Structure 1
């Protein structure tokens, strides 16, 4: 039996998603739970014909019925249980009676998995590799088109499903690890059984929140994938969405409550203005459009003010963390749901898993609007208390984009980066920010920077040496281009050549890459692996100097290590003054370039090449 098949077999035995035998005409979520969880509360959502008219009862030592709620639809019953920490793994019976009719559910509490490499969190020690499973590699062509699912594989369509899957990513974990990456972030892998017209290969329109999409693999395969990543020293970040679902979600045929989703006829689609959520002068009209409007017409907007829905979503999160062993979550559209709900969600997740980490997507225009969402934000007095550890730092992306495209000036060029970082006092902890050059929603950074390899190397070096948690979008190491359209899915979400059988070449091998791709790949690999060795970059303080003459100099330092970074945007070499930077250079006689290995004499003024970011370890 092959290694992957053996892994899947073992996990199927210990993590099967169906639990023990249940009443065949009832759907129960979560499908099973765990004994000795960090929370004693368990909500069971039971779905079946007229089940709301039944009364639930449980007779099991250590398990107490707290309450039961019937939905507006007669086909839902929500049962709330309290499970004592003393209750052992095993099964218990839940009976539902309606007159003379009785239904019995045999529900399983599984033992928690005891492994050191589970739920580890992520931090500034990590470099995150973001990829889209559908576009990375096709490891199992047999699941490209699944009978009974609405959208078949359409590899010739830029926005169609191309067949990439979990097995494809698994097959290339060594490629990711050898780059120097320490964590893998997959765009959502939940079932997205949407119509071909919507094109849901991206995963952000869930139709079942307890299932991995079969075109990516199975629940058991996902658990095996996480385990394989951990075995290679890679963490896994799961992408979740609590703002919306897909319009083909099974709920939409029979909503549990009338207020389960917002009324599209009343609110239409959202205004996509996340700044409204923290605007002290925002109108109720604008706020309603943001929070209650649907993201797109095919994505019904969830109303988390419904208590049963809020409990369901939080519990679903805890289930996936415990079931799969993931190390972190990236929460999509964090600013769009109700603030109080998102705060409760983050608080309960971190309380249950203290070593875990969460980053919320906060796509806004200013540092002030970004920092508002981070836990323990300073200086706020509007009464909102956030529990979100990390935010997606769009301000770094904007600053890099503008620095290379607006020309040199008092307020442009490298000053954009300086201004962004000089506002870090607004964050409770900027080292926890996830920083990036681009992602799956933005034009490829290589094209944004004019498709100049020197510019990409400069920007990448900045990303890996400034404060925060770097996230690298797949293909950056190969200088992927944006293509004819910045927003074209076939460009910013391109396939990795060699990920599909029959591809003419494979970028996963040196021989399959072009000379230009190998040059960038080598640069990224060397710098990313070096970062693992530098405590100053991973944990140290930042000190920077105001850019002059299109040159930006900053230092990362601890008591035991010092790194000097020089961004020279000029075409020609420039002289770096020792005297200007003496407060950080005093006591150091030379610096070694981490890329070339060249030694620089720091006892006097020295020169650095044009269009480079020079990274020196000081000796």
Structure 2
């Protein structure tokens, strides 16, 4: 009896001691910061048992706490610091107290990197290669399956992870550089530790916004990738998502505030109608469904009207820009979050990094609804005041895909492209639009054009020579078609043959490609490499002529170079009446074909064969 009583006392005493131990800080976001940043404010989100009951103090030169906030969940503490330009790098001791309990968190302030060639932005002189890292190349099979993560690689199922990673990209940088690419846009590499049934290989269901998914590599390896790309005078564009996260994000287990996410019960799924965002007559019902509805049930919708969350997301952006050295951001689903927040986000990012560039994904059907989202859009007076430089030019992409599949008329065929370009006055600067033939959410262009190589070449020639910043989807350089694999998305999200150690051929080498693949890749590479130095394409004025007989003629005019482009999608050869183009051609005598080097006399009429695209430098 006595022995049992004594054991009980010891047990209770031990338990009370354990209970009296100070709470531990489990998560600190961001994990570190820098001195002499372009912004002085730092928000820390601390997470751990009962941390909301603690109060913080600091004693560090030129660093002060400006506010600290407990929230609905008792396990979060938000701290705001002012870090002056005179603050020095080092360990910043943050003392957290709760009665007699005390926790000291040594927070690291780093020295900013001063290496040149970081955060360079991107523009019309660039050519962007869009890839899905999971589908491009597997350079490190050892990270295909990570113990403790929910989904393993499964190459037998195209709806699951295939194992592509950062090392695979590093291994194939020669291939990308030789193609003539100057920038790489990766679909998101954030941790997506989602259930296998969902299939989050695409990266758009983040479960931690400060971590690269370990199946791709690590934060450090991502930074090394950016550095290696920069060493080749190329750039990196990071894909971000501020509309939603994945339902396995650690926030979901313990919401910081009751309004951190929008309620599925209240709003359900979004209506996917991006037009609503710019519609002056939109109902509140439709607007709420667009902005507050969840993208899919596995992607909880973030409430950017929550000031703490808005600060968190903006600071996360600045952290990745500073940490990695990336040159631009593609913001996913730009039209779905709160509009005032997106305007604030773009302004704060570009104020901090003036040379940077951002493209917002605005999947809408027509030019007026697309142009609304770009900075200084004409006629926008509803309070949306964004500095977003670039938008994804979906209307032009649709026009190309439809126009090359239609019979010619005043409004169809190549006229559809002409009519779309003719509305460019609605954009603040159409030269900043990101233009494309296809991407990871659309059917591949070669398949869409009925696997017609001639039409494909016409489309590609247009992409390389019209106004804007061209983006090429991985595999387009090989005229990839669809595969009968899994769901619709998986049909155009194939793995690159040769990216996996057990592949039976490699499209990264000439010997591993088919004859047709080598022919088209030579065509594309030659055009890409020429475009690198074509100042008329980068900066020149666009002058175009109404299409006739499904032949579209336009010029890119610059003081240093003038280029003539002819797209003939007709079934017969077209004779070009030289006098029709006299306003440009009167200053020139010959045109030199940029691919063949052959000359054509532009002082008289000349002919272009059927289903052909041609580009000439005029001299």
Deviates more, 1:570-579 or 1:41-50: 570-579
CA distance in 1, matches of 2:76, 2:25: 13
Counterpart residue number, 1:531 = 531
Matched, 1:335 2:335: yes
Count residues with an aligned counterpart.
Answer: 598
Q: Give 1:93 deviation, angstroms.
A: 0.8
For the structure 1 residues 419 and 350, does the alpha-carbon distance in structure 2 shift closer, same or farther, using more than 3 Å as the test? Answer: same
1:498 is aligned to 498
- For residues 379-394 of structure 1, the aligned pairs below 5 Å read 379-394=379-394
Q: How far is 1:361 from its partner?
A: 0.2
Offset of 1:381 from its aligned partner?
Answer: 2.0
Deviation at 1:225, TM superposition (A): 0.4
8 Å CA contact retained: 1:443, 1:487:
no
Q: CA deviation at 1:458?
A: 0.6
2:408 corresponds to which residue? 408
User: How many Å apart are 1:25 and its aligned residue?
Assistant: 3.8
For structure 1, which runs of at least 5 residues remain unmatched after alignment? 1-21
Q: Following superposition of structure 1 onto structure 2, how do residues 291-306 of structure 1 map, counting pairs within 5 Å?
A: 291-306=291-306
Equivalent residue, structure 2, for 1:197: 197
1:182-581 equivalences under 5 Å are 182-484=182-484, 488-581=488-581
Q: TM-score, normalised by structure 2?
A: 0.95
CA distance in 2, matches of 1:259, 1:45: 16
Q: What's 1:81 paired with?
A: 81
Cα shift readout 1:549-579 (whole Å, capped 9, x = no counterpart): 1110000011121000000011221111110
Pairwise CA distance, 1:56: 1.1
User: Following the alignment from structure 2 to structure 1, what is the Cα–Cα distance between the partners of residues 173 and 216?
Assistant: 16
| Contact 2:435-2:470 at 8 Å conserved across structures | yes
Return the alpha-carbon distance in structure 2 between the equivalents of residues 505 and 580 of structure 1. Answer: 50
Out of 222-231 and 597-606, give the one that drifted further. 597-606
Correspondence for 2:57: 57
Contact in 1 for aligned 2:238/2:328 (Cα 8 Å): yes
Q: Is the 8 A contact 2:159 2:487 kept in 1?
A: no
Q: Who wins on radius of gyration, i.e. which is larger?
A: 2
Q: Any conservation in 2 of the 1:133–1:166 contact (CA below 8 Å)?
A: yes
Distance 2:431 2:391 in 1: 10
Partners in 1 of 2:33 and 2:560 — Cα distance? 47
**Secondary structure of the corresponding residue to residue 377 of structure 2:** coil
> Does the 8 Å contact 2:555/2:562 carry over to 1?
yes
1:178-215 alpha-carbon deviations (Å, 9 max, x no partner): 00000000000000000000000000000000000000
Instruction: Judge conservation of contact 1:185–1:238 (CA < 8 Å) in 2.
Output: yes
Question: Aligned in 2, Cα 1:65/1:412: closer, same or farther, shift over 3 Å?
Answer: same
Deviation of 1:490 after TM superposition, in Å, equals 3.2
Residues 364-396 of structure 1 show CA distances to partners (whole Å, capped at 9, x for unaligned) of 011000000001112222222111010000011
String of CA shifts for 1:8-60, please: whole Å, max 9, x gaps: xxxxxxxxxxxxxx995432110000000000000000001000011111121
Counterpart Cα distance in 2 of 1:550 and 1:406: 10
Over the aligned positions, Cα root-mean-square deviation in angstroms equals 1.2
Question: What residue in structure 2 maps to residue 17 of structure 1?
Answer: none
Q: Tell me, yes or no, if the aligned pair for 2:455 and 2:611 is still in contact at 8 Å.
A: yes
Does the Cα contact within 8 Å between 1:23 and 1:104 map onto a contact in 2? no
Counterparts of 1:88 and 1:444 in 2: how far apart (Å)?
52
Distance 1:141 1:128 in 2: 27
Q: Check whether the contact 2:24–2:103 (CA below 8 A) recurs between aligned residues.
A: no
Name which of structure 1's ranges 380-389 and 178-187 shifts more when overlaid on structure 2.
380-389
1:14 alignment partner in structure 2 = none
CA contact (8 A) 2:72 2:256 kept: yes
Secondary structure at the aligned position of 1:66 is classed as strand
Q: Deviations over 1:146-187 (max 9, x none)?
A: 000000101111111000000001100110010000000000
**Quick check: 1:277–1:287 contact (8 Å CA) kept in 2?**
yes
* CA contact 2:241–2:333 (8 Å) conserved in 1: yes
Hey, what's the Cα distance between the residues in 2 that align with 1:485 and 1:578?
50
Q: Distance in 1 between matches of 2:599 and 2:436?
A: 30
Does structure 2 retain, via aligned residues, the 8 Å contact 1:188–1:204?
Answer: yes
In structure 2, distance between residues paired with 1:493 and 1:122: 25
1:158 and 1:488 in contact (8 A); partners too:
no
Deviation at 1:482, TM superposition (A): 2.0
Distance, in Å, in 2 between the alignment partners of 1:286 and 1:410 is 35
Match of 1:546, SS state, is strand
For residues 293 and 502 of structure 1, what CA distance do their matches in structure 2 show? 43
Quick check: 1:175 aligned with 2:175? yes
> TM-score, normalised to structure 1's length?
0.95
CA distance in 2 between partners of 1:238 and 1:485 (Å): 27
SS in 1 for 2:400: helix
User: Counterpart of 1:104?
Assistant: 104
Equivalent in the alignment of 1:68 = 68
Determine if contact 1:158/1:489 at 8 Å carries over to the other structure.
no
In 1, are the aligned partners of 2:362 and 2:394 still within 8 Å (CA)?
A: yes
Q: Distance in 1 between matches of 2:382 and 2:25?
A: 49
Between 1:243-252 and 1:605-614, the stretch displaced more is 605-614
Cα distance in 1, alignment partners of residues 157 and 408 from structure 2 = 41
Which SS does the other structure have where 1:517 is aligned? helix
Q: Output the CA distance in 2 between the equivalents of 1:150 and 1:123.
A: 39
Secondary structure of the structure 2 residue equivalent to 1:204: coil
Q: Partners in 2 of 1:23 and 1:69 — Cα distance?
A: 17
Distance in 2 separating the partners of 1:485 and 1:48: 44
1:613 aligns with 2:613: yes
CA contact (8 A) 2:23 2:49 kept: no
Alpha-carbon distance in 1 for matches of 2:442, 2:490: 13
CA distance in 2, matches of 1:435, 1:25: 46
**SS at structure 2 position matched to 1:236:** strand
